[in-house]
Amino acid sequence: MRWVCTANRGFANLAMEELRRMFPEAAFQQLAAGEVFAADIPSERHEVLESISGKEPIFLRHIQPADRALPVAGNVDDLSALSDTIRYVGYTFDGKRTAVHVRRSEGTRFPYSVSDTKAVLDAVLAEIGGEPAMQEPEVILSVYAAAGELLVGWGTPREMLSDWPGGAVRFQREEGQISRAKFKLLEAERTFGLRLSAFREALDVGAAPGGWTSLLLERGLAVTAVDPAELHPSLTDHPKLTYLKKNAGDVRFERGTFDLLVCDMSWSPMLMVKLIMELRDALQPGATAVITVKLMHRKPLQTIRDVVDKLAGAFELRKAKQLFHNRDEITLYLTKRA
């Protein structure tokens, strides 16, 4: 079966490597250089989904089954054929909240825009008993317009790893927002199933200029922010903020002070690990940690293994993922061992 797979730009080769280790006989074809590729995997659909669900790849951001492949003629027949295909499998969407995701490769001959295609497919879904939905869909109908064919598939958000087209999670920038780094923590909250407002005391290591600190304060947490650089002036008078203008290696806290640690530092991975391990006693047993790991070396998979191994004595890894808002990094979700 063929699958349309998406990674962050420049990381498709690592997503392919992860899939190759899971499915040694898989074959790959680039659809959008460095970002989107087709994977032909000689396994049943349910077997592929079970394997990916059981050990989700770090760099695979989104996966779409190609249940149908329609040739592109470059004229009105393309949209007509696509509509007829959806009508033919209407039982799949009958009575279900269905989101339509349409993506186009740069070189496609498919002549219709994303918005026009979506409008037509929403109408078709309504016609066959589906319920077009923008949020919280039960099913996603995905269309990827490759150079010479439309790759059409459907599945649940869980199966596709995301309920956003291609896994590209979009947040609206707010007036006065301190930095785009806030989006990383917002996406981590969604991806890892966290509820930040459920925590009480947070330690933000390498906090400046304060993007993550600002979100934690908005969620109602008391935050201790540590960084020798300046926090944004809008934060410094917040009643629930303690700001330590110091290097993280120079601070110590009472045992079990915090139930959440976050760290988004542009340091080398091993230096970051050293700091986190030095601060581990400040965390309560079972405390959550959300940490970004910068992939500055030529062997990112080895770097990730080294970081996880070093942290394993104090933390249990819950999930490692390259989020859409990560750049040359990944995000770890961990809990402190008792």
- Please give the residue range of the domain that contains residue 76: 2-167
| C-alpha dist (Å) from residue 181 to 35, 260, 284 | 22, 18, 26
Q: Give CA–CA dist 90/172, Å, rounded.
A: 34
Q: Are residues 144 and 195 in the same domain?
A: no
The closest of 266, 267, 289 to 279, measured between CA atoms, is 289
| C-alpha dist (Å) from residue 162 to 209, 275, 317 | 29, 32, 21
Q: Are residues 238 and 273 in the same domain?
A: yes
Strand-by-strand arrangement of the 201-205 sheet: 241-244, 222-226, 201-205, 258-263, 283-294, 329-336, 315-321
Catalytically active residues are: 294
Within a domain: residue 172?
Answer: no
The closest of 104, 115, 94, 90 to 151, measured between CA atoms, is 104
Q: Give CA–CA dist 202/15, Å, rounded.
A: 33
Q: Are residues 205 and 97 in the same domain?
A: no
The closest of 8, 28, 25, 4 to 16, measured between CA atoms, is 28
pLDDT in tens, 136-168: 999 999 999 999 999 999 999 999 999 999 999
* pLDDT above 80: residue 298: no
* pLDDT above 80: residue 198: yes
Q: Give CA–CA dist 266/51, Å, rounded.
A: 33
- Taking residues 220-235, what's their average pLDDT? 95
* pLDDT above 90: residue 258: yes
Within a domain: residue 174?
Answer: no
Q: Are residues 320 and 205 in the same domain?
A: yes
pLDDT in tens, 98-121: 999 999 999 999 999 999 999 999
Q: Are residues 144 and 214 in the same domain?
A: no
* Residue 28, token pair as written in the block: 């790959």
Q: Give CA–CA dist 26/41, Å, rounded.
A: 5
**Helical (H) or strand (E) element with 244:** strand 241-244
Q: Are residues 250 and 130 in the same domain?
A: no
